Amino acid sequence: MKKLLLWLVMVVVMLAVLLGGAGYAMYAMTGDDKLPTQHPTLGDTELEPIGYDWSVPVLGNVLNRTFEQPSTLTVQKLGEMTEAAPELVLPDWAQRTTLTLKDSTGSVVVQGDAAAFAMYAYPKNGSYELTLTAYRNTADPGDATGWYRYCASYTMNIQPKAVLSSERVSQGGVAALVITGILDGSEPTVETDLGDVWFRPVTGGYMGYIPVTYNTEGGPHTLTVTCGSLTQELTLNVMQSEAKTVDVAAEADIPGAATEYKNAIWPLYTQGSSEKLWQGNFASPVPSAILADYGARLRTDGTITGRATGINYNAAAGTAVTAPQAGTVVYAGTLALTGGTVVIDHGCGVKSYLFGLDAVKVQRGQSLARGEELGTTSEEHTLIWELRIGSKSVDPAAALTGSSGLLYRETM
């Protein structure tokens, strides 16, 4: 019996030695190559860790090996940043972050995480210091958990500049004008023969929309942009578009109709919200065929009587008319010249003018979503959809397809 017990003890001891040896070997073989190797980038530069604390599984959840380095006072120097908001890109393993950003006086200007840093708008040029800790708290079996810490300094040297969404625009098109690097709160102005430009605030500056009507002279047009210390000249080249000729019925001459229209509609050209209310492509107000495209020559009894300032639709009476985009109704009523009329303010000077309705089902001041019903078409009038920036008409078709400058960098 004693021999059996002695033998069992020896077996247990041997197993313990073997398991201990195997565990020690596995522990020794577990190296820092198990730590994440990708690091965040700020601008174009990868950040270098100044400290870390990681736990790497050796035997499941039973045994872990720790790799740590106390954080040092090293500050990585990144040099100058010339973008309005240098982008902080996190590696895939980073599940959580804490972040502090200080300005040249040592004052904390951001206290939070990477998302808070992304929302920060720099009020002035100068030096900044960022401290970032990136964590992985949960992981797949065998993956390390822990954190890296980073510290970097950089100098913001943002210079104001203006750029166009495109240097070439066809008649009827829209060019977006983006002004960045404005840190002193100045508001921009533009001198141009193309029309008034409405601006909206965007990250680090402003964006405005330049209308190019169907009758704008082809060739180069100069824009002089002024904003704070910025005075810059840009050139927008206008390309001529071919226009079809469409036969239309003569309009009835109603005494006082033109004056009524002018008094009701023209004041809207200079009014409206500075906030951008649209998002994404515009939608056709009716599913009907097009009678005349934007800019088409309108001919009555063999004589050219004008040009189409919008899209004319061949819509059957009683067809539902819907909002081309989100916005606010700034006019809803009936005019002798245009019948049932609805004007929707989409913000930034952009408005939809819908003429030729029968029953109008919306009211002034009403907020609309894209596709919401405005009323129905009539027997008496042709349904017309005009899209204007200020007083200048532009081609709605480009807004339908997403090729309009109104859709340029919408997320700014």
Tens digit of pLDDT for each residue in 228-246? 888 999 999 999 999 999 9
Contact 84, 205 (CB under 8 A): yes
Same domain, 300 and 342: yes
Same domain, 211 and 264: no
pLDDT, position 41: 98
Instruction: From 378, 196, 360, select the one nearest 269 (Cα to Cα).
Output: 196
Cβ-proximal residues to 201 (8 Å cutoff; 6+ apart), any chain: none
pLDDT, position 312: 97
Q: Give pTM, 2 decimals.
A: 0.74
Which residue in the block uniquely carries the two structure tokens 């601006």? 199
Same domain, 172 and 143: no
pLDDT, position 24: 43
Instruction: From 211, 215, 216, select the one nearest 173 (Cα to Cα).
Output: 211
* Domain end residue (candidates: 239, 265, 288): 239
Q: Look at the chain and report how many structural domains it folds into.
A: 3
Reading across the β-sheet that carries 168-170, which strands appear in turn?
168-170, 230-239, 219-227, 189-191
Same domain, 305 and 340: yes
Which residue in the block uniquely carries the two structure tokens 């008319």? 321
Q: Return the SS3 of 268.
A: helix
* Domain end residue (candidates: 239, 259, 283): 239
Same domain, 200 and 68: no
Contact 276, 348 (CB under 8 A): yes
Instruction: From 241, 235, 223, 243, select the one nearest 168 (Cα to Cα).
Output: 235
Contact 355, 384 (CB under 8 A): yes
β-partners of residue 295 are none
Range of 396's domain?
245-400
Residue 312's φ and ψ, nearest 5 degrees, are -95, 130
pLDDT, position 141: 73
Does the residue 113 lie in any domain? Answer: yes
pLDDT, position 381: 93
pLDDT, position 17: 43
Distance, first Cα to last Cα, the chain: 85
Same domain, 195 and 303: no
Residue 265's φ and ψ, nearest 5 degrees, are -100, -45
pLDDT, position 6: 58
Output the domain CATH number for residue 230.
2.60.40.10
Q: For the chain, list residues with pLDDT below 50.
A: 11, 13, 16-28
Residue 2's φ and ψ, nearest 5 degrees, are -65, -40
Q: At residue 398, what is the residue type? A: A
β-partners of residue 355 are 341, 384
Tokens of 149: 């810490």
Q: Return the SS3 of 22.
A: helix
